[in-house]
Amino acid sequence: MRTITLKTAITETNIFVDLPFTEFKSIIKNKWIPNQVQYDNFSNIAIITDSNVRTIYGRHLSEYNVIELKPGEESKSLETVENIYRQLLDFEIDRHGFIIGIGGGVVCDITGFVASTFLRGVRFGFVASTLLAQVDASIGGKNGVNFLSYKNIVGTITQPEFVICDHAMLDTLLVQEYRCGLAEIVKSALAGNKDLFEMLEQNIDSINGKDKSILNKIILEAIKFKVSIVEQDEKDDGIRQILNFGHTFAHAIESKTGMSHGEAVAIGICKSAEISVKMGLLNNSEHERIKSLLKKFNLPIDMKLNFAELLPAISKDKKRKDEMINFILLKGIGEPIIHKFKSEELKKLI
Ligand SMILES: NC(=O)c1ccc[n+]([C@@H]2O[C@H](COP(=O)([O-])OP(=O)(O)OC[C@H]3O[C@@H](n4cnc5c(N)ncnc54)[C@H](O)[C@@H]3O)[C@@H](O)[C@H]2O)c1
Ligand SMILES: [Zn+2]
């Protein structure tokens, strides 16, 4: 087991990699988080999960108050949030309560938002059960829900107290969901960790085969990278934007086609790399390396879509400031830059 600590001005999050997820029970009993309220009485603890995760892991949760969500992105809504508030009130969770999200990125995003708003904030932690949640969604404190056609437009930045990443939970993950996590790991590598990119290139078969030792290494590397960025810019005013590499396209593709986040990220990565080549920033051979890696993970690298049709959605994306669109491009593998495009300029390049 390895512990990474994410420190901000006022918070510390312990991220446990390669820890059996059932250890959340000891964490709650203060094994790792000293000087806090004791949680021997389970009545003030609520677990938020989704029905898929509960079906597989629910036997470990029988002593707790459990709130179950419908799986999938549609649950990331204010309506779901209201339903959860209602159940928290029914369970009589008070401001000394603790909320644990056990699930993928959808459960983590909703749990973080609910916990940071219910009673003006109660303590919370995550058991991240998808690869995508382990390397990305559970780390960094961004949480929230979708509203109208905007992704993640309502939310807060509030750090959880702990995150558990148990690779054994990935055994039950559908292969397609596993690949989505790999897309985010490729994104992290491109956004600033060339060693991680090379580690991925050199271990394709073991990664596709979910080999434990390599999986733990890449999860650890991806988390360390994200932690280092979040610690420099928790509120997303500067360098944190590089973690959005590929995402301006990805969010527009998701809204337009309903494609899963990870697959849309893979296509977004390729399109952003293509634009980087067109602008003379990235060389062709690096572009080919990126596409080849994604292909070896069985991720999509293109789709039948008139990408110019995504422009209205891109302009609506919340990353737009004034008339300019903030876009992350690559000068090389692991070398991102933030570029401001005028909408017209981007249209020509697309
Ligand atoms: N907050 C952030 O910084 C951040 C970063 C990246 C992504 N996200 C968000 O994360 C979401 C995507 O997350 P996701 O890909 O984890 O999706 P998800 O939470 O929908 O999980 C994918 C599917 O896997 C199932 N599942 C979860 N764990 C499982 C397990 N161990 N075994 C079997 N099935 C399991 C779920 O029920 C679901 O059907 C998006 O909403 C995205 O916006 C947030
Ligand atoms: Zn993402």
Inform me whether the pLDDT recorded for 160 exceeds 70.
yes
Which pLDDT score, from 0 to 100, does residue 94 have? 93
Which residue among 75, 109, 149 has the greatest number of ligand 1 atoms within 8 angstroms of its CB, and so is best to mutate?
A: 109
Inform me whether the pLDDT recorded for 193 exceeds 70.
yes
Average pLDDT over residues 42-64: 96
How far, in Å, from the CA of 266 to the mean position of ligand 2?
A: 10
Q: Say if CB 153 and CB 319 are below 8 A apart.
A: no
Q: Is 127 in the pocket of ligand 1 (CB under 6 A)?
A: no
Q: Is 106 in the pocket of ligand 1 (CB under 6 A)?
A: yes
Per the prediction, the chain carries an average pLDDT of 93
Q: Is 49 in the pocket of ligand 1 (CB under 6 A)?
A: no
Q: Give CA 249 to chain center in angstroms.
A: 16
**Which stretch of 103-107, 165-169, 213-217, 318-322 has the lowest confidence by average pLDDT?**
318-322
Which pLDDT score, from 0 to 100, does residue 322 have? 61
Inform me whether the pLDDT recorded for 64 exceeds 60.
yes
Residue reference for tokens 């789709």: 303
Q: Is 180 in the pocket of ligand 1 (CB under 6 A)?
A: yes
Domains and CATH numbers, the chain: 2-172 (3.40.50.1970), 194-349 (1.20.1090.10)
Residue reference for tokens 């209602």: 86
**Which stretch of 1-15, 21-35, 39-53, 86-100 has the lowest confidence by average pLDDT?**
21-35
Task: Give the SS3 label for residue 320.
Answer: strand
Q: Is 76 in the pocket of ligand 1 (CB under 6 A)?
A: yes
Residue nearest ligand 1's atom 35 by CA: 173
How far, in Å, from the CA of 218 to the mean position of ligand 1?
A: 18
Inform me whether the pLDDT recorded for 38 exceeds 70.
no
Inform me whether the pLDDT recorded for 202 exceeds 60.
yes
Distance CA 122, CA 70 (A): 23
DSSP state of 43: G
Q: Is 187 in the pocket of ligand 1 (CB under 6 A)?
A: no
Residue nearest ligand 1's atom 41 by CA: 106
Which residue among 113, 151, 177 has the greatest number of ligand 1 atoms within 8 angstroms of its CB, and so is best to mutate?
A: 177
Q: Is 182 in the pocket of ligand 1 (CB under 6 A)?
A: no
Distance CA 197, CA 41 (A): 45
Share of the chain above pLDDT 90, in %: 81
Burial 18-32 (b: 16+ CB within 10 A, else e): bbebebbbebbeeee
Q: Is 146 in the pocket of ligand 1 (CB under 6 A)?
A: no
Distance CA 17, CA 134 (A): 9
Residue nearest ligand 1's atom 7 by CA: 137
Which pLDDT score, from 0 to 100, does residue 91 have? 97
From the CA of 183, the nearest ligand is 2
Inform me whether the pLDDT recorded for 108 exceeds 60.
yes
Higher pLDDT, 348 or 75: 75
Exposed/middle/buried for residue 188 (C-beta within 10 Å: 0-12, 13-18, 19+): buried
From the CA of 104, the nearest ligand is 1
Q: Which two tokens stand for residue 216?
A: 């733990």
pLDDT level of residue 291 (50, 70, 90 thresholds): very high
Residue nearest ligand 1's atom 14 by CA: 105
